Amino acid sequence: MNQSRNLILLALFAFVVVVPGKLYAQAVPRQLRGKIITSYKPIDIPSAVKGFVGKLKKQDKKVIRKQEGGTWVIYFVAFFKKPLPSDSMGVVVLDGKGEPVAVADVGGQKGQTTLASQVTVDTTEFPGKKHTLQVYYAKGKKPVILAKKQVILKK
């Protein structure tokens, strides 16, 4: 039931936030642009505008602990620096050397300004060290970063 509620709230949130250009400034709070809220458990997206940023930030965790199955699951809500200019994007977790330890291609919608999802890291050479979570889109052969955050994957 709680997951159903979260999906409904996420759908409402996406409907409100996926808006064209001029309304973008009003849709994504300035202090969240280019940022990612991360957690080791699903993020509850507030339904009310009042206190939205504070409620999200309370759930934000920089340290992600390994789960019983031996993987790290990073739940996240990304707020893009600018609207997505294409219909696809990628999610990557980079280790301390800048090597990918988890990669996912994600379908999107042109003009989208947020992404709520999760990514699983099966293994890393650097547990306990900083890793970088990025949401990006490809422009030619180069990635353009929409949002990023450093997290620590603990054992």
Domains of the chain, by residue range, sit at 2-154
pLDDT in tens, 133-144: 999 999 998 999
What pLDDT is attached to residue 6?
43
Q: Is 102 exposed, middle or buried (0-12, 13-18, 19+ CB in 10 A)?
A: buried
What pLDDT is attached to residue 152?
97
How many CB atoms sit inside 10 A of residue 50's CB? 8
Assign a CATH topology to domain 2-154. Immunoglobulin-like (2.60.40)
Provide mean pLDDT across the span 29-51: 93
- The sheet with strand 72-79 has its strands ordered as 36-39, 72-79, 114-121
Of the candidates 119, 116, 109, 147, the one whose C-alpha atom is nearest the C-alpha of residue 7 is 116
Distance CA 126, CA 133 (A): 14
Question: Residue 1: pLDDT above 70?
Answer: no
- pLDDT band, residue 122 (cuts 50/70/90): very high
Q: Higher confidence at residue 26 or residue 71?
A: 71
Distance CA 87, CA 31 (A): 25
- pLDDT band, residue 14 (cuts 50/70/90): very low
- pLDDT band, residue 10 (cuts 50/70/90): very low
What pLDDT is attached to residue 2?
47
Q: Is the pTM of this model over 0.85?
A: no
- pLDDT band, residue 38 (cuts 50/70/90): very high
110 DSSP assignment: T
